[in-house]
Structure 1
Amino acid sequence: MRSPLRLYGRRGELEAVAALSDRLRTGRGGALLFAAEPGFGRTALLRRAAGDFEAGPVLHTRAVPAESRLPYSGLHALLCAAGDVLSAAPAGLLSSGLGPADLLELLRGRTAGRPLLVCVDDAHLWDDRSRAALGFAARRADALRGVGLLLSVTGDRAQDPDFAGLPVVHLGPLPERAARDLLHELAGKKTERTDPAVREALLHEAEGNPALLEALVRRLSPAQLSGHAPPPRPLADGDTLLRTVGDRPAALPPDTAFVLLLAAAAQEQTPEAAGADAALVLRAARAAGIGPEALDADEAGGVARSDGDVIRFHSSLLRRAVHAGATPARRRAAHQLLATVLAGDRCRLPRLLHRALAADGPDPRLAADLAAAADAPDPWIPGLQRSLAFARAAELTTTDDDARMSRMTAAAEQARLAGHPHRARELLAAARAGTVHNAVRGRAELVAGALALGDGPAGDAYGALLVAAGLLGPYDQERALDARLGALEAAWAAGDVPACVAALDGGDQGRDVAVHDYRAGMLAALDARPEAARAPLRRVLERAATDDDPVRLLRAGAAALVLGDIAAACALNARGLAVGRARELVALVPRFLEHLAYAELRAGRHARAGAHAREGLRAAHRAGRRNCVAHQHAILAMVASVEGDAAAVAGHVTEAMAIAGPHGLVQAATLAEWASARADLGRGRAYEAAARLGPLVREGPRRGHFAVRMLAVPCFVEAAALAGQPDDAHAPVREFAGWAARGGDPQAPALLARCRALLAGPEQAESLYAHALARHELADGDFEWARTQLLYGKWLRRRRRPREARGRLRDALVAFERSEARTWVEQTRAELRATGDMAGGEPAGALSCLTPQQLRIAHCVAEGATNREVALRLSVSPRTVDHHLRNVFSLLGVRSRVELSRLVDRAEIKGAHP
């Protein structure tokens, strides 16, 4: 990176440099080796380290490739950089008699008393004698008092013998957020506003490489960055890629360069594969008169390596540079050779595709053959390969606009399914240009709506999908129905019931019986007719038991959740996930993980839900499905609210709302708000929890998502009752009773009884708690069962029945521990201590002198609660709290709430780390 930019996304690397600098300041020595592929910022990192080092002098030099064969040229460059920093060199330093230890002696003789930092960039390009001396000194850096060596090499040279034994830090691609921040700085120097589509295309093209991102921005004009002029295609041309990777490809021998071009061309069809088939490449090379020995030279070139079966490029950037940097004639020759050596029916698509890539002009017949091969029903053909085939078939088609645009649309759809939405949008922009038949336009709108459904406002996706359904209806009823079901998904995410009904009500019913049942069942469920919904949705589940179609499995999993059949939802989504992974349907995998995590959450299996949501988060980022990212963060917030990690809850809620707000994802937003409220409730903050949940569960403009708000009612009722506001909960409980009667949640009857117990008088409460526990036995879910036991135990303790309360509380404690619900574990232990049972955990240190009730009050006050809030939380009077608090102050010898809070914090830390 040539311009003086800030370093983004390199916190860990900078911390490693700072640790080395700290060693030098204390008089110790050390060494560190940074390894990275071209463009990842090795030079910028060393320049930053040199600039930040203020403890003493810095020797900073960079290797010159032209001098790599001159003996001692590296050491000579270092001495020239030293000036008068180092003492006089030993006699004959650069003579032929120099040994590896001489550099070590030279560094030991630096100016006395001041630390020294030696930075050598591209150390792998030093001559072999200088390199040996440098490695020798670096491995013994601990013996150099106050001397540090900071070296950088390319990624493939980190394991060279000269650098063996050195601590290595590998620089990878920039994280997404860091890349966005860097792009904002780069583009901000040219234009005030960067078009969102251009921004996403640049980030996708750069693949986290900061130097390439800088080169791409430099290549665009302000008008192109702001979206007022079309950007060049491709964004990263051969010259840009070659300038980024440097001179390694150009330095290769001609035969080696052509073999690597063959490898790059072979991998062009499956760029995400581990590498190119070495046998195929060598067959094509032999057809060109080149033997396998040509691969030996590339090891020295540092571009690729062969392990016998696969030829792997050291980075995707190098592969792209080798392919795009070749002349068009050489690229066509490489593809033609690969087509020649591919034989057999299994190779029909790759053979035709190589022939198409070798073509130098339109070829309608080849285009038709290629499109037919790409449209084959074989589920194991990679989506990106299909996309490339359809796109190339469209380029070879000139006389039929409908056929050309239809093929480009198919290419966009396959790119979307393969998890490349940026490529899909590029192809779609080309497909939507010009005047074509409504059926072709409808397919393009269907792809556009599906893309918005994964990453865009739900309202935009809904509108595009309904337009697609209208255009496709007279010509392609199956796709029109797919569009309507996609619109249902968009309206569902937005929490818009009338829009859901409108999406399902219109259009032809289609000939697929499974889809007909799904529509009928979902319409009945949305219309609150559970009996009418149950039979058709059950038929959907029965058919899915032997189905391997991923889309139908996804719908069946959703139907199972609507029915409240959590076990079926988990099984169907797990099988769909396996199918999606096997067929590399990258766009569908995050959705299966999202539905699976949500089903596990509904079942109360929070650890499993968290594991699937974390995996889903990674998959959603890879697939460019930010709407799925929002849902996964919301689920992770729910999991963290059980685990008691307040910081994690807040972090996940922030991430979820950053997407859910602008994109109108009401379901994700409701889950996130519920997670915040449940975290508050777990920490005893009933007021805050009730304030968060009240608008979501009550009628009004701010109420939550229709499929989630009822699930949050029990949490709200508990918060309202503990906050002394039971009247606010009566209306939501009445609505919850109607919802529970529909059978949408197997735990609902037990939770309804618990809610009624919280709001009932002492005469009815006990029988309601007993009824709630009996109903819990009919459904899975340790966590909710434990919460009912905890509330029942609290109720018994307030009725001065401590022996009975202890039994309930001990059962709750075991279940909460099994659920890893740490906050609830602590709450239950406090209740046990209040009954006089020390099995709940002895108070730590100075707090051991307090009674159980005094200890509970001390903890509440330490958290910042007022006397009135403590009274409500513990179900005692404010006068009782005041009396106990005065005794606590006297026993602990503190004079204020601040002192009490500090004492409690110290005691808890000591108890946690004895």
Structure 2
Amino acid sequence: MLILRGEPGIGKTALLGYAASQAAGFRVVRAAGVESEMELPFAGVHQVCAPILGRIDSIPSPQRDALRIAFGLQEGPAPDRFMVGLAVLTLLAEEADEQPLLCMADDAQWLDQSSLQVLSFVARRLVAERIAMLFGSRAPEEAHELAGLPDLTLRGLADRDARALLASAVHGPLDPQVRDRIIAETGGNPLALLQLPRDVGPAELAGGFWLPGAGQLTTRIENSFVQQFRRLPPETQTVLLLAAAEPTGDAALLSQAGALMGVDPEASAPAESAGLVECGAVIRFGHPLVRSAVYQAASAVDRRAAHQALAEATDPASDPDRRAWHRAHATVGPDETVAAELERSAGRAQARGGLAAAAAFLERAAALTPDSWQRTDRALAAAEAKTRSGAFDGALKLLALAEARPLDELRRARIDLLSAQLAFVSNRGSEASPLLVAAARRLEPIDVDLARATYLDALNAAIFAGSRARPGGSTREVARAARRALAASLPLSARDLLLDGLATNFSEGYSAGLPRIRRALTAFERDNSTEAEHRWLWLAGIAANHAWDERRWDMFSGRHVRFTRDSGALSELPFALNQRAYVVLFAGDLMAASALVEEAQAATEAMGGSRTQYAALALAALRGDEAETAALARAAKEDFVLRGESIGNFIAKWATALLNNGLGNYHVALAAAADAYGSPPDVTKVAWGLVEGIEAAARSGSPDLGTDALRRLTETTSVAGGDWALGIEARSRALLSEGESADELYREAITRLTGTRMRVELARAYLVHGEWLRRANRRVEAREQLRVAYEMLTEMGMNGFAARARRELVSTGEVVRRRAVDDFAQLTAQETQIARLARDGMTNQEISTHLFISPRTVEWHLSNVFTKLGITSRKDLRPIRP
């Protein structure tokens, strides 16, 4: 796997071609990004897969269906983007089993977003497959989905080589000063050295009075190609223009379009002789800059004529979106027929999971819409799609377009709403909640349902902003405004119940709001059928956590991740993954949480962002990693200052307290926890800070501080009930109690937490009980509890807490021996995951689907596992706990 990076003309395409020519015994599949084709979803992936689609029936049916839907070959629900990636990986691996495969993608910066994400997904998972991948791309920022992959930046030729290449392109005398000037100005760019002398007369080259053309090097190279293009016969120019306007290069389609324009198919011969194109079943340009030069050199009238011919030649049944795309480029002014066709293409693109493509189709449809009201509506729909796909700058431009004319009250309210939502998803800080409240109030007399949905958005934003919310945007202020809003029509939806429950909670208190929140959670559990309900799953998960409902927190976080992946809603994915990671962390599966954190970071980077991943903070703290926790806490506090995102500041303090409780630095933990639970009571995770504060206070000799924190904690746990809440309450009370009362409370905590998914909390209950027993000089009983704690904490990778448990065990006189499960410490994280799944009975194919890798990679990892552990089959795998 390698990315060749560099400026246009530096040799990326030539090197890719050389690699293909040298790939003896390999099958070569390739794609080439085309700037004008970035609107078509999965177009680049289709180029790669088209030659081997005959194997599609050999891949598992969920992957096969996802790929067929993505390519528009069958209808169905929008495919999971990761399932499409896995399908492509499996398809390529199947082909590579028969013959090694070289997969190449040139001009990757111009691949459509869906394709670039899928191909980078595949590239990151190549381990044991007989597949080589090569990308050609410009500067890293132009294809940030490829960030972090191995790359090679190409530079200009050295002076000696540049002189030799230039001499080969100049047939006649060359003045030394002109030669040195050309070499200096081209920076040794090979294509420039070959092309620029073609536009300079022999007298100028020999006489020493050549002047360079104006503009950037790329422009000057393109101008050279333009001059060659204009010297060709008119019919040849038409053939090249058709090829430049149709990215697939399908010779049959181009021949048909040429016939419609009255062009002889053999007219391409002069261009082929000049090295501008290669003709076969697919027509390819000698260099990507030739394509852009040809297209830009043609007049607007000729370009429209070419697109019109290509639209007429394209089958509307098999490729309606490409036909609509050509028709849009052939249209001069407003045309409702074409705009409506583009709108239908947007719907198909969204159904295939291509939100970015849907936005592009809608944007073009808006530009071609004759009716001003409908133009505004399509611009708003495009802005919404761009917002959800993470293209925030594009969304802002479309909002400006929508606002360019006088608006009625409904559209004004929609613009206000989308502006506020954009502020929220792009910067979940102090600005969004008051904007959303203002939009909701404007909507109340127009659309009660939409107004209530907007109030719920505002509550969501207020939770993030916390104490930093602007006036009118705190959770209490938003809740009161929502309570004054008109009632929803019956029957109440899950969303309406959630709004009522949270608004009551934040305005009247936990006890008043909890019954309504629980009704909302029940409704969400029953209704997972519509996108409207999925929109609120993140907040439903927060509400479940607030209600100490671990089962529904688990359920909703999992559903939210699946939905954001399926819909391609990239702007929501990092938040869904972070919440899911917290659920997995509390369950003690730090390995799975780490994978979610990495995915969230990748999704954030794909949007060009650098937001702190809050789940990464919790992961580092649970692992006992002081340096990583400190670095992430600093970043979260910077976000707090930059964006006014109070929840990040809280998480940083809570994670600091958690880390130091694990390390036994109780005074540091107490100070951090006190800062955390000193936040306003409307922060839903404040209970987490209280729990850490109670333990730190008890261990640092500050029981009064712990008692106050316990009082605040029980205001939610005693009302919520349930084993999670009451188990945490019992453990916290025990820490501040003495004698038999403490012992009974510790045992109650262990009993209750054993019945939950919260293995981290259970392990900590065993630990503090064992510590209490040791101090009570009940060493035999202490050893029993501490052994369990040490085993659990070590297996989970909670190194700080595990070290604390080990110290306590040693203090009881125990000799802490190496555990049998420690054999697995020599495995990598992925090997451990695969070994665990194989032990649990999954086949290689099932494991590959679960972990988004190929079956061959699973087989390779299992082989390494068997070698490292000295075993020969799956049945020899010892239990590996998550």
After superposition, the Cα gap between the structure-2 partners of 1:550 and 1:285, relative to the gap in structure 1 and judged at 3 Å, is farther
The structural deviation recorded for 1:739 is 0.9
Secondary structure of the residue aligned to 1:779 is coil
Partner of residue 622, structure 1: 606
In structure 2, the CA distance between the partners of 1:366 and 1:478, relative to structure 1 (3 Å rule), is: farther
The alpha-carbon deviation at position 736 of structure 1 amounts to 0.6
Considering only CA atoms, is the larger Rg found in Structure 1 or Structure 2? 1
Alpha-carbon separation, structure 2, partners of 1:262 and 1:351 = 14
Q: Which position in structure 1 is the counterpart of 2:167?
A: 67
Q: Residue 717 and residue 391 in structure 1: after superposition, are their counterparts in 2 closer, same or farther (change >3 A)? A: same
**1:83-110: per-residue Cα shift (whole Å, max 9, x none)?**
xxxxxxxxxxxxxxxxxxxxxxxxxxxx
Q: Which amino acid aligns with 1:751?
A: I
Shift of 1:557: 4.2
Q: Which residue among 570, 573, 576 is the counterpart of 1:589?
A: 573
Which letter does structure 2 place at the counterpart of 1:394?
A
Aligned to 1:895: none
Once residues 424 and 252 of structure 1 are traced to their aligned partners in structure 2, the CA distance between those partners, rounded to angstroms, is 40
**Residue of structure 1 in register with 2:34 after alignment:** none
Q: Which residue of 2 aligns with 1:857?
A: none
* Paired letter, 2:476: P
Q: How does 1:613-652 map to 2 (within 5 A)?
A: 613-623=597-607, 629-630=611-612, 633-652=613-632
2:776 is matched with which residue? 799
Q: Is the 8 A contact 2:276 2:290 kept in 1?
A: no
**Cα separation, 2, equivalents of 1:567 and 1:535:** 15
- For normalisation by structure 2, the TM-score amounts to 0.62
Alignment of 1:95-134 (within 5 A): 121-122=188-189
- What is the correspondence of 1:500-899 to structure 2 with a 5 Å cutoff? 500-502=478-480, 504-511=482-489, 513-526=493-506, 527-528=509-510, 529=512, 530-544=514-528, 550-551=534-535, 553-554=537-538, 556-623=540-607, 629-630=611-612, 633-698=613-678, 702-703=679-680, 706-743=683-720, 746-839=723-816
Distance in 2 of aligned mates of 1:279 and 1:575: 45
Stretch deviating more after TM superposition (573-582 or 612-621): 573-582
Deviates more, 1:500-509 or 1:720-729: 500-509
CA distance in 1, matches of 2:553, 2:287: 42
Aligned with residue 416 of structure 1, among 384, 387, 390: 387
The 3 A distance-change label for structure 1 pair 724 and 312 is: farther
Q: Which of the numbers 388, 411, 426 marks the counterpart of 1:440?
A: 411
Give 2:858's aligned residue: none
**Structure 1 residues 677 and 761: alpha-carbon distance in aligned structure 2, compared to 1, 3 A threshold:** same
The question of whether the paired residues in 2 share the 8 Å contact of 1:593 and 1:615 is answered with: yes
Q: In the alignment, does 2:454 pair up with 1:483?
A: yes
* SS of alignment partner, residue 750 of structure 2: helix
Q: Is the deviation greater in 594-603 or in 723-732?
A: 594-603
Distance, in Å, in 2 between the alignment partners of 1:640 and 1:608 is 14
* Residue type of the alignment partner of 2:460: E
Assess, with a 3 A threshold, how the Cα gap between structure 1 residues 300 and 828 changes in structure 2: closer, same or farther.
farther
Q: Which amino acid aligns with 1:363?
A: D
Q: How does 1:205-220 map to 2 (within 5 A)?
A: none
Q: Is the 8 A contact 1:594 1:616 kept in 2?
A: yes
Instruction: Name which of 297, 301, 306 aligns with 1:329.
Output: 301
Could you tell me how far apart the structure 1 residues matched to 2:180 and 2:502 are? 78
Question: Equivalent residues in 2 for 1:143-154 (5 A)?
Answer: none
Q: Return the alpha-carbon distance in structure 1 between the equivalents of residues 297 and 632 of structure 2.
A: 43
Residue 245 to residue 833, structure 1, CA distance change in 2 (3 Å):
farther
Q: Tell me which residue corresponds to 2:362.
A: 390
Identity, % of aligned positions: 27
Kindly provide the amino acid, as one letter, of the partner of residue 800 in structure 1.
N
Instruction: From the superposition, tell whether residues 124 and 481 of structure 1 become closer, same or farther in structure 2 (CA, over 3 Å).
Output: same
Deviation for aligned residue 1:63: 5.7
Structure with the larger RCO, 1 or 2 (CA within 8 Å, 6+ apart): 2
Q: Which amino acid aligns with 2:619?
A: V
Q: What is the distance in 2 between the residues matched to 1:121 and 1:711?
A: 60
- What's the offset of the Cα at 1:815? 0.3
CA-CA distance at 1:281 after TM superposition:
6.2
Kindly indicate whether residue 312 of structure 2 is the aligned counterpart of residue 340 of structure 1: yes
The one-letter code matched in structure 2 to 1:497 is T
2:439 corresponds to 1:468: yes
Task: Give the Å deviation of 1:648.
Answer: 1.6
Q: Which one of 426, 451, 456 corresponds to residue 422 of structure 2?
A: 451
Contact 1:604–1:783 (CA under 8 A) maintained in structure 2: yes
1:243 aligns with 2:227: no
Q: Which amino acid aligns with 1:781?
A: M
> How many residues align structurally?
636
* Equivalent pair of 2:222/2:290 in contact (CA under 8 Å): no
Task: Name the structure 1 match of 2:331.
Answer: 359
State the distance in 2 between where 1:332 and 1:795 align.
82
2:684 partner letter: A
After the TM superposition, which residues 86-235 of structure 1 pair with which residues of structure 2 at under 5 Å, given as runs?
Answer: 121-122=188-189
TM-aligned CA deviation for residue 691 of structure 1:
0.8
1:807 partner amino acid = E
Distance (Å, rounded) in 2 between the aligned partners of 1:740 and 1:299: 81
Equivalents in 1 of 2:809, 2:349: separation in Å? 63
Separation in 2 of the partners of 1:754 and 1:786? Answer: 11
In 2, the alpha carbon distance for the partners of 1:458 and 1:517 equals 25
Q: 1:401 to 1:679 in 2, by over 3 A?
A: same
* Cα shift at 1:68: 4.1
- How big is the shift at 1:690? 0.8
In the TM superposition, what is the alpha-carbon distance from 1:821 to its structure 2 partner? 0.9
How many Å apart are 1:45 and its aligned residue? Answer: 8.5
User: The residue matched to 2:401 in structure 1 has which SS?
Assistant: helix
Which amino acid is 2:665 matched to? R
Distance (Å, rounded) in 2 between the aligned partners of 1:299 and 1:507: 74
Instruction: Supply the distance in 1 between the matched residues of 2:701 and 2:334 (Cα, whole angstroms).
Output: 78
CA distance in 1 between counterparts of 2:558 and 2:687 reads 26
Structure 2: which amino acid aligns with 1:824?
Answer: F
Change (3 A) 1:464 1:311: farther
Equivalent position amino acid for 1:415 in 2: K
1:156 matched residue in structure 2: none
Aligned to 2:826: none
1:652 and 1:622 map into 2 onto residues whose CA distance is: 20
Q: Secondary structure at the match of 2:697?
A: helix
Q: Determine the C-alpha separation between the residues in 2 that align with 1:691 and 1:252.
A: 73
Paired with 1:740 and 1:313, the residues of 2 have a C-alpha distance of 70
1:285-324 aligned at under 5 Å gives the runs 287=260, 289=263
- Shifted more, 566-575 versus 63-72: the winner is 63-72
Shift of 1:468: 2.6
Hey, what's the Cα distance between the residues in 2 that align with 1:276 and 1:607?
A: 46
SS at match of 1:817: helix
719-728 or 352-361, larger mean C-alpha shift? 352-361
Runs of 5+ consecutive residues of structure 2 not aligned to the other structure: 1-5, 8-133, 142-150, 182-186, 195-213, 467-473, 820-882
User: In 1, distance between residues paired with 2:286 and 2:688?
Assistant: 51
Query: In 2, distance between residues paired with 1:299 and 1:692?
Result: 74
Any gaps of 5 or more consecutive residues in structure 1? Answer: 3-33, 51-57, 82-119, 128-218, 220-238, 268-274, 843-914
Cα distance change, pair 555–751 in 1 and its aligned pair in 2 (3 A) = closer
